[in-house]
Amino acid sequence: MKRWMIGAMFVLGLASAKPAFAAGKPMSIDDLLAIKSVSDAQISPDGQSVVYVVSELDRATDKTNSSLWLVATSGGAPKRLTTAPGSNNHPRWSPDGKTIAFASSRGGSSQVWLLPLAGGEAQ
């Protein structure tokens, strides 16, 4: 099940990008740098949700920003969980599925943060 979900997330990530070749022109470096990458998909303990990382290059700062997203395994619109610039990655579910632990550089150095899914800010 996990391999299928990871494969589906990869295909969805590619499908959401606007490929340059569809417009009939060769792919440029700008096109390549605009592609967002999807990684580290983790299925919730109850199997109802998947949390994953979306990374993209911020061309103004020349740094990569990554954020956590959540989507139901049955489909639907994904929900962005983190918006802080920098790296927000390596999500892992708590055993009860109510909290997501992740590594973030939002405090200046990489630290573990806990995000309650019931609402509220990461701590």
Domains of the chain listed by start with CATH number:
2-116 (2.120.10.30)
Q: The whole model's pTM is what? A: 0.74
Q: What tens digit of pLDDT does each residue of 99-116 get?
A: 999 999 887 888 999 999
The pLDDT of residue 101 is 96
The pLDDT of residue 20 is 46
Q: Secondary structure of the chain in the HEC alphabet?
A: CHHHHHHHHHHHHHHHCCCHHHHCCCCCHHHHHCCCEEEEEEECCCCCEEEEEEEEEECCCCEEEEEEEEEECCCCCCEECCCCCCCEEEEEECCCCCEEEEEECCCCCCEEEEEECCCCCCC
pLDDT of residue 56 exceeding 60, the answer is yes
**How many Å apart are CA 75 and CA 123, to the nearest integer?**
29
pLDDT of residue 9 exceeding 70, the answer is no
Q: What tens digit of pLDDT does each residue of 18-54 get?
A: 554 556 788 888 777 778 888 899 999 999 999 999 9
Q: Who wins on pLDDT, 8 or 102?
A: 102
The pLDDT of residue 27 is 82
pLDDT of residue 62 exceeding 70, the answer is yes
Closest CA to 16 of 58, 81, 71: 71
Q: What tens digit of pLDDT does each residue of 78-95 get?
A: 999 988 888 889 999 999
**How many Å apart are CA 15 and CA 93, to the nearest integer?**
27
For the four alpha carbons of 28, 33, 34 and 35, in that order, the dihedral sign comes to: positive
